[in-house]
Amino acid sequence: MKPLKTILVAEDELDIQMIIDIALEDLEVHFCQTGKEALNKLQHITPDLLLLDVMMPEMDGPQLLKELSKIEKYATLPAIFLTAKGEPKEIDHLLDLGALAVLTKPFSPLTLGKQLNALWQAHTQKSAMVNI
């Protein structure tokens, strides 16, 4: 099974970026602050997973996911939202957009890596079964 190695994080709050950097120190993590920056960065890197904030300037997380779904090579790129907007209606909306999962802030930096790994493993297993 392919291990989770590279993540692209789109998050405008630098403190959250620094917390994630510490929490995911075993992974290769790339950061950007807006959806637009993420789109540009994807031209240079191929992450296994996207970790997206919802509220960001210029292009927010949901807008980014919609843009990516229109581009064939990114349409199946798994994305997980990390948001302080934890209302059920909001979570349903993000899942309807095609997000793999929605994690809410506050989050535990001590377990974030394990959570992402578990979601990634479940996703890759499901994808492998679909492709049989």
Partner 1 sequence: MSDINEKLARLKQDYLKRFPQKIDEIEGIWKELEINWSLEKMTALQRMAHNIRGTSATYGCMTISDIASQIEILLKTNLEASQKQVDKEMMEHLLKKLRESSV
Give residues in contact with partner 1 (CB under 8 A): 12-13, 15-16, 18-19, 22-23, 25, 55, 57, 83-85, 105-107, 109-110
Q: To 10 degrees, the CA torsion angle through 28, 32, 35, 37?
A: -110
Instruction: Write down the least CB distance from residue 50 to partner 1, Å.
Output: 18
Least distance (Å) between residue 46 CB and partner 1:
28
CA distance 113 to 22: 10
Cβ neighbours of residue 56 closer than 8 Å, sequence gap 6 or more: 10, 11, 12, 33, 34, 35
Q: Which amino acid is at 105?
A: K
Q: How far is the CB of 42 from partner 1 (least distance, A)?
A: 23
Instruction: Tell me which H or E stretch contains 51.
Output: strand 49-52
Q: Which is nearer to partner 1, 111 or 125 (CB)?
A: 111
Question: Quick one: 25 or 72, whose CB is closer to partner 1?
Answer: 25
Distance, CA of 124 to CA of 128 (rounded, Å): 6
Q: What are the structure tokens assigned to 35, written together? A: 């959806």
Nearer Cβ to partner 1 (12/48): 12
| 14 versus 71: smaller Cβ distance to partner 1 | 14
Min separation Cβ 22 and partner 1, Å: 5
